[in-house]
């Protein structure tokens, strides 16, 4: 199961170095450092996708969110995450996040259907107790 985490971290690193607009694919929200990535589900190997219940199709994206405490240790946080994705035409998809815990790592996965060159705006609410933060980002998707 650590394979997915390694694959996602590798993808984070490669996309972060290629994507200067996102500033490393994380945002500081309050006392959290929220890491996020959205990519085609076909980037995940079939055996890994099956283990996590991820559907691999040309028109499905995988959204991965992890929330870390903004301290020197960067402790993974367990939170409640809800969100929506809207394309430029205003079509909305509710995102259903699934929590994955592997050792000290905690991350949240959701899937999204898209068409080639769709641009989606993400509005994701992250809640822990009485703390609430909103993560917003935009992503364009392509079909191979």
Per-residue model confidence as pLDDT tens digits over 62-108 = 999 999 999 889 999 999 999 999 999 999 999 999 999 999 999 99
Domains of the chain: 2-138 (2.60.40.3340)
Which has more confidence, 35 or 71?
35
User: Residue 3 pLDDT more than 80?
Assistant: no
Partner residues linked to 125 by β-bridges: 82, 134
pLDDT of residue 24: 55
Partner residues linked to 62 by β-bridges: 39, 111
Which has more confidence, 38 or 3?
38
CB 133 within 8 A of CB 32: yes
pLDDT of residue 72: 86
Distance CA 33, CA 43 (A): 25
136's CB contacts (< 8 A; 6+ apart) are 121, 122, 123, 124
User: Residue 19 pLDDT more than 90?
Assistant: no
Phi, then psi, of 30 in degrees rounded to 5: 60, -125
């Amino acid at each position: 199961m650590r394979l997915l985490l390694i694959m996602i971290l590798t993808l984070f690193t490669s996309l972060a170095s290629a994507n200067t607009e996102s500033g490393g694919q994380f945002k500081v929200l309050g006392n959290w450092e929220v890491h996020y990535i959205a990519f085609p589900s076909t980037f995940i190997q079939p055996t890994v996708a099956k283990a996590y219940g991820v559907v691999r199709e040309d028109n499905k994206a995988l959204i991965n969110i992890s929330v870390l405490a903004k301290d020197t240790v960067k402790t993974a946080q367990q939170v409640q995450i809800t969100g929506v994705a809207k394309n430029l035409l205003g079509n909305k998809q509710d995102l259903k996040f699934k929590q994955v815990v592997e050792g000290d790592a905690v991350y949240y996965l959701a899937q999204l259907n898209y068409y080639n060159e769709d641009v989606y705006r993400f509005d994701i609410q992250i809640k822990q107790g009485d703390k609430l933060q909103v993560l917003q980002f935009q992503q364009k998707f392509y079909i191979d």
